[in-house]
Structure 1
Amino acid sequence: MCAKRLLLISLVFLVLGCLSEYLLGVPFSYIIPLILVGCLVCSVPFKSQVLFGWLLALFWMSWGMAALAPHLDKNLAGQGIAAFDGKQVVVEGILQGRPLMKAEGQRFELQVEQVYSNGTTFAVDGVLLVTIAKGQGPWLSGDRIRCPAKVHLPRLLGLPGEFDYRRYLALRGVQATAWVHEADSIVLMRGAAVTSWHRWIDALALRSQEFIRKNVPDPDQRGIVLALATGGQQEVSPAITTAYSRAGVSHILSVSGFHVGVVVAVWVLCLRWLMLRWEWLALRIDVRRTALLSALPLMLLYLVFTGGAPATARSVLMLSAVVLAIWSEREIDSLDALQLAAFCLLVADPGVLFDLSFQLSFLALWGLLVLTPLLVAPFDRFIVRGWQRTLLLLCAASIATVLSTMAPVLDSFHQVSFSGILANLVIVPLLGYGATVLATAALPLQFWLPSVAAFLLKVSGWLVLVSNGFIFWISRLPVLHSFNVGPVDLLATVVLLGLLSFIRSGRSKAVAVSLLVIGLMLVHLWPDAAPDGNMRIAFLGVGQGDATLIKLADGRTLLVDGGGYLLDSNKDFGERYLVPALHRLKVKQIDLMVLTHPHPDHLGGLPAVAEQFRVREFWQGESVGSNDNYQRLIGALNNQHTTLRIVKKGDRVQFGKELVLSVVAPQAVAGGEGGDNDDSLVLHLQQSSFSTLLMGDAGFPVEDMLLRDGVGEITLLKVGHHGSRYASSEQFLARVKPRVAVISVGAGNTFGLPTEETINRIKQQGTELYRTDQQGTIQVETNGIGFTVAPLKTEPALLATVRHFVCNILF
């Protein structure tokens, strides 16, 4: 069996093993791989390639599962750190890696050894991702520090399609996050006991970053120069990041194979030129091979200096294989080098498979190697040469990169830009061959020729300025938006590239690719199920906020509130959470959007929804908002000519024969800007004998008014004000007698909601209680007579069944 096939089998089944463990989460040890090693040794005398191949495949699959299992078991469990969730403690530990600079603070990973809480010292083994809100310190890898921090275990909100941040951290070896208000509160206990080369390079990188900050004063230019020269993107402003992303050239901001290749190529050419100028040396050594070999330590230094990102590591491994092949005068196969790089990285760290930068870098390079020749082939008969050939290759490479990375980009960012095909023609020369080379060359010169280094950095900043102007212009072009791309499309991309890479027969390749494309089209074009006559009410798990999605029996959709962040975080809650959840729930348009009141935990997600979905009608009370988010919402609704209505008590709308939505509160608004929770709209939804009361943030005064109005019994109560003690009084609950109550509330919130007294009042009525902080999204389904209530399942039923079978039967 040839070495190429062995490498391919090993890589494919190593990936399958990692995926199986990630999806199923079964307990797995190294015993099975060890047994399979023995079987492999025993199979050698039989000289059976088929037997050896299957045993090798099973070995690497079991190795992938065994290697990934400890990451998930240990880090998701949280070790001892879980006991301090939500507490303000003092932590002491060793700094892991280089701190990342942020706009106002820092972020680093801390290997915690001790925790001080309430006068007691606890020995803890775990890693914290520490964020400093304000200030920066001179800490380096290996330093022991002590700091006051608030520990937090990341939790899922319980929304469909939600990003699992806790599992993402677990794969990086992080058990929890911690928040430090100021860098001044951190005490350096002692420096690293041993000054390692890694620590020395980290110090060099931090010094270089300070040199760049000093000589590139403009923040927009400085952020990109720092990203190109040192690999840190933390100072690139959100506006610039968004513009480069919309222009389809965000890849240029992260150090990848392109940057490594450019730096190495410049180094080798310059060194070769210098060596050829020295006649004595040129006559005694092979200048070409020596210059190539010198690139190996340079690439390793560049990898560590820029932070060791997966894309950079992949490039260094590949280029190292190519350099060694050229040096030893052996044949080079780019696909083999790519497989070898992937295999080495996965063996070293199986969790890297689920890192987006790893996926994008490998798919991009794979696409370049496979798709670029196919795109160029039709033009070969025109015998294109010179600059025309270069332009053709650059355009083909851009198209190949966009096509090969489209699935993961749409899955993660929900948009992809084809304008990058044009933008690359300008940005690659400006930033890739220009600013990157100049800024990287300036870093070593800062020690011997600081004035020359400063000049090179200023020229780099000028190139960035020109680039930014072009990018802001081209980013106005339309981009492709889609929320319907998922793991199936990513799998199809990998299979497609595999078919193009490893099937030699042209006819077989055409048939296989055609079948794959047809199957993928059927998956996306298969019609949704017709309405079944039931109404579904989903109380979305949006944390400390409110959002209720109602799908009527005839297929129409109502959205009441949109959740949001209580404090301004410069993040779009709707874009990050609510919009993807609505797409996963197969929402096509919003027939009626209701804003109960303009508080940020009810308003925050609605602007993004209004920008992404067609909204036919919008309701709000007489209390209106005044902040930028509210203005953004109204602007988006006006742009699509949505009917805007100010509603009040007594307004109602009829949906079909038996379904009525009524506004039952408030009676009047004291102020004009909705500053009081009792200004919140209260909605009553009635379908036959099933009725729902959505209380918003209304409290006792509104409940007293409803009692005076003669409110009757209801089936379902959305508890007012997230379970506050000032809502859901005994008299109110005794009158409405809800059979089911739902509280929308965030886990571990600082308000202590829901309060115990409110929970007790609800339970005393014999009401069945559901909470979004404990059960995630709660879905109620009714035909107008009977109903069911259950947490909404956020994973495919087939996957849940397989996991149950494997964990409970096989293990």
Structure 2
Amino acid sequence: MVLLFWTSVGFCEGRRGIGVSETTAQSVFVSLPSVPDRVDRVEGVLADFWSGSAPRARGLLRAERLQVAGRWHPFPAEVFLFVSGTLPVERRADRGDRVSLVGRLKREDLPASSRDVALPWTRYRMSVKSALEVRRTGRTALSLFSIPNLFFHRTLPASRSRGEWFDRNVRGPLAALLLGRTAELDRGMVARYRRGGLYHLLVVSGLHVALAAGLVLGGLRRARVAGKRRDAFLLVSVFLFVLVGGANPPAVRAGIVIGIFLAARLFERPIPAAQALGLSALALFVADPRQVYSIGTVLTFAAVGGITLLTEPIRRRLPARPEALFSGVATSVAAQCATAPVVFWRFNYVAGGAWLTAPLAIPLSAALIALGGAILVLFAIGIPAGPLCSLFGLGSRLLELLADRAAGLAFLRPTPPLAGVATIGALTLAAAKAPARLRPPAAILAVALFLWLAFGPAPKGPLRGFSIEALDVGQGDSILVRWARHAFLVDGGGPFDVDAEDFGRTRLLPKLLDRGVTRLDAVLATHPHPDHALGLFSVAEELPVDRLWLSAGDDESDLFGRLRSAARTAGVPVEVLAAGGSFEWSGARLTVLHSGGPRRKVDSVNNQSVVALFERDGKRALLTGDAGAPTEQALLDRGRIVQVDVLKVGHHGSRTATSRLFVARARPRLALLSCGRENRFGHPAAETLRTLAALHVPVFRTDRLSDVRVDLLPAGTLVSWRGLE
């Protein structure tokens, strides 16, 4: 009850603080002039280290004020920064610095998943053309706290100076494990850790703070240091570890919990662990109200709460000897019991292998922390650490091997209802604190409900007809077609950064899993442009896909070549579609009307897009990719266009597509149009909208409605959307 009381007080206070800031920021932002070439000036504090590198650096700003019409106004908001140009932006300013920036400020797109829509504040993004537009105006306490991390990071050997093996197995994991820097990790390594449910072991987190504290405590016991001296030394050690680790939120949260507990003992006012946990929640939420809604906060307090409440009951049911082994197993299982439902709801992973490998992986992670700390010190004082680096690299490979084995028992599952996850949490709490006779039934019910949500039947598409949904992926295309237990994906969206292959994991996969799609009958990439194809990399890597279809047109920037390679690695068959081909499965038919063809002088790759007709139970949808007017005219000349129910508007509504004759021949009952909010291309064009309006075709746009779904059923047509309007 003490834990619940203090956490509730912190939540209410944090929510109040968020509401005040949000009202202020919104009122200032809406006063900005609505002109396409607007340049904005914002001041604030860099809240994190830069990720990525020139020419695509990303950062996070805690904005403080915004200039409107030459006057400064308070603007307490969270702004994601995107800096272009060749100049390294970290030389201009880094975390903790107060900065002034010049660029274009926009509202951030809606989150990928409806799980995030309830956040009670608006996020913003700012595009900055060059690091020269980032100017340091001062330093803050956070700048001072960042000095240890910056110092140790700069003492690491430069990237590529010691070979690929060192960068992959030593430099990357060392920077992540002790410094909280994840940008240099190998992408394949990260994917294996994520699938195995052990990613939290790879980066500085609350678990690492606890492990480091345990290592220090073990050393103090061996040195026979006890009492207040032990607690004081342990408190200082935790503080330094958090600073060196970059003082990221997970480490800070764990440090606050441990710090309050140790401080109470130092002042001879010892408190129970649950009360320390509640007071730390209060302190954290008052200091940073947005932590109220952080999934990391939930996981931190769930893990610590699980360890506090469940370790002892689990330990009593395990063998007495060896004590250290089974105590570690009990702690690991207790943390997994508390966090598994949250991980399942937020990340869709049921990491069965993590339950088996965690008792081995956690001690190995502790050993790597101790070894990595020694390596950092040696690098800092200029002493070679060759043997230790080799040993660290071998340990890193072994930890990755455990993650890879755990991935074999990890499953991506449809998003469970939040009420179900909350019920599992309540039953788990009852299994620990209810009267003795009720604990076994509560534990059994918690396990049964978890298994039902994880492996029960997923939502399916219409049994008759089909649904077609334009997924909101920003300035790009991704169309999901579903019927019965089948799903077919056309394009995957993506930014115009050809290296941003993780877009699908953060933006597209959550949408598919929210809809219960855990397997795809086919994936079609209409043409090799990043705003259509980048999201498909993660789809091919993470989901079972029966086949990948590509356009017969020219490749561009080797995008299709890389997609082929990713598909081959995942065991997905790849086929190039030819015009005139037809595919039938489960009562549905896909007819390829156009694919490839001659390279035209204007919009050459766009006009080689696949154009396809999907049919089932007498309902039809025309999928046009980015095909323009020349391709439309060629299809009209060959008599390939028939009347359809739904038209996917070509090329995001550009004026170079969706000709009047084409629309008149197709006679769609409605049109789906995918484009980004306030996109730099001005899509959709006014001419295109006038053409559709003149032919009485209702248009449903993702920039205004977000995800738009059309159910084409024998009894009628149903249109629904997630909704901005």
TM-score, normalization: structure 2?
A: 0.82
Could you tell me how far 1:538 is from its partner in structure 2?
1.6
Verify: 1:721 aligned to 2:651, yes or no.
Answer: yes
Q: Offset at 1:713?
A: 4.1
Q: In the alignment, what sits opposite 1:733?
A: 663
Alignment of 1:338 onto 2:338: no
Paired residue secondary structure (2:317): helix
In the other structure, the counterpart of 1:473 is: 401
Distance in 2 (alpha carbons) for counterparts of 1:299 and 1:585 = 43
Counterpart-to-counterpart distance in 1, 2:298 and 2:550: 44
Partner residue of 1:538?
469
**Is 1:70 equivalent to 2:24 in the alignment?**
no
| Superposition map of 1:791-802 within 5 A | 791-792=721-722
| Whole-Å separation in 1 of the counterparts to 2:596 and 2:96 | 63
Counterpart Cα distance in 2 of 1:650 and 1:264: 64
* Residue of structure 1 in register with 2:45 after alignment: 95
Match of 1:397 in 2: 331
Q: Which runs of 5+ in 1 are unaligned?
A: 19-60, 277-286, 795-799, 801-811
* Equivalent position amino acid for 2:155 in 1: F
Pairs within 5 Å for 1:759-778: 759-778=689-708
Q: Which among 354, 361, 366 is matched to residue 293 of structure 2?
A: 354
Q: SS state of the match for residue 104, structure 2?
A: strand
What are the residue-to-residue correspondences of 1:302-701 with 2, within 5 Å? 303=242, 306-327=245-266, 333-380=272-319, 383-384=320-321, 388-415=322-349, 416=351, 417-418=353-354, 420-421=357-358, 423-424=360-361, 427-436=364-373, 438=374, 450-451=381-382, 454=383, 461-477=389-405, 478-486=408-416, 487-488=418-419, 490-503=421-434, 505-523=435-453, 525=456, 528=459, 531-552=462-483, 556-587=486-517, 589-616=519-546, 619-623=549-553, 625=555, 627=558, 629-630=560-561, 632-633=563-564, 636=567, 644=575, 646-649=577-580, 651=582, 653=584, 656=587, 661-665=590-594, 668-669=597-598, 676-686=605-615, 690-701=619-630
Q: CA deviation at 1:768?
A: 1.3
Q: Distance in 2 between matches of 1:362 and 1:313?
A: 12
Separation of aligned partners in 2, 1:399 and 1:633:
40
What secondary structure, in the 3-state scheme, does the structure 1 residue paired with 2:81 have?
Answer: strand
Deviation at 1:395, TM superposition (A): 3.2
1:124 corresponding residue in structure 2: 73
Q: Aligned residue pairs: how many?
A: 702
How far 1:562 sits from its partner (Å)? 2.9
CA shift at 1:508, angstroms?
A: 1.6
Q: 2:360, 2:689 → 1: CA distance?
A: 58
| CA deviation after TM superposition for structure 1 residue 623, in Å | 3.0
Identify if the C-alpha distance between structure 1 residues 73 and 366 changes in structure 2 by more than 3 Å, giving closer, same or farther. same
1:250 matched to 2:183? The reply is no
Q: Which amino acid aligns with 2:65?
A: E
Structure 1 contact 91–149 (Cα < 8 Å) conserved: yes
Residue 222 of structure 1 aligns with an amino acid whose one-letter code is R
C-alpha separation in 2, matches of 1:668 and 1:262:
60
Would you say the 8 A contact 2:475–2:675 is kept in 1? yes
Is the CA contact 1:91–1:112 (under 8 Å) kept in the aligned structure 2?
A: no
The residue number in structure 2 matching 1:28 is none
The structure 1 residue matched to 2:104, chosen from 121, 131, 150, is 150
Compute the displacement of 1:758 (Å).
Answer: 1.4
Q: 1:180 aligns with which of 95, 108, 128?
A: 128
Equivalent AA in structure 1 for residue 329 of structure 2? C
From 138, 146, 151, give the equivalent of 1:202.
Answer: 146
CA contact (8 A) 2:424 2:449 kept: no
Does structure 2 conserve the Cα–Cα contact (< 8 Å) formed by 1:741 and 1:769? yes
How large is the Cα RMSD of the aligned pairs?
A: 4.2
Kindly indicate whether the alpha-carbon contact (under 8 Å) linking 2:655 and 2:685 is maintained by their aligned counterparts in 1. Answer: yes
Distance in 2 separating the partners of 1:85 and 1:474? 54
For structure 1, which segment, 238-247 or 334-343, has the greater mean C-alpha deviation from structure 2 after superposition?
Answer: 238-247
1:109 aligns with 2:61: yes
Computing the radius of gyration from Cα coordinates, the structure with the larger value is 1
State the alpha-carbon separation in 1 of the partners of residues 720 and 508 from structure 2: 20
CA distance in 1, matches of 2:656, 2:341: 48
Instruction: Identify if the C-alpha distance between structure 1 residues 160 and 395 changes in structure 2 by more than 3 Å, giving closer, same or farther.
Output: closer
TM-score with structure 1 setting the length: 0.74
Distance change (3 Å), C-alpha of 1:107 and 1:557: closer
Paired position in structure 2 for 1:211: 155
**Shift of residue 507 of structure 1?**
0.8
Measured against aligned partners, the alpha-carbon deviations of 1:593-642 in whole angstroms (never above 9, x if no partner) come to 44433433333333443445554565555336573555544763797675
Q: Say whether the 8 Å CA contact 2:96–2:141 is kept in structure 1.
A: no
The C-alpha deviation readout for 1:19-56, integer Å capped at 9, x for no partner, is xxxxxxxxxxxxxxxxxxxxxxxxxxxxxxxxxxxxxx
1:100–1:232: 8 Å Cα contact kept in structure 2? no
Q: Is the 8 A contact 1:534 1:783 kept in 2?
A: yes
CA gap of 1:651–1:667, structure 2 versus 1, over 3 A, is: farther
Deviation readout 1:503-544 (Å, 9 max, x if unpaired): 2x2212223333444444555536757955342222222222
More helix by share: 1
C-alpha separation in 2, matches of 1:373 and 1:786:
59
Q: Distance in 2 between matches of 1:620 and 1:179?
A: 33
User: What's the CA shift for 1:255?
Assistant: 3.7
Contact 2:550 2:576 in 1 (8 A): yes
Question: In the alignment, is the contact (CA less than 8 A) between 1:621 and 1:681 conserved in 2?
Answer: yes
Deviations 1:445-485 (A, max 9, x none): x6xxx35xx45x66764443222222343343224022324
- Structure 1 residue 572, shift from structure 2 partner: 2.8
Cα displacement string for residues 218-261 of structure 1 (whole angstroms, at most 9, x for unaligned residues): 54433444445444444444444444445554334444455445
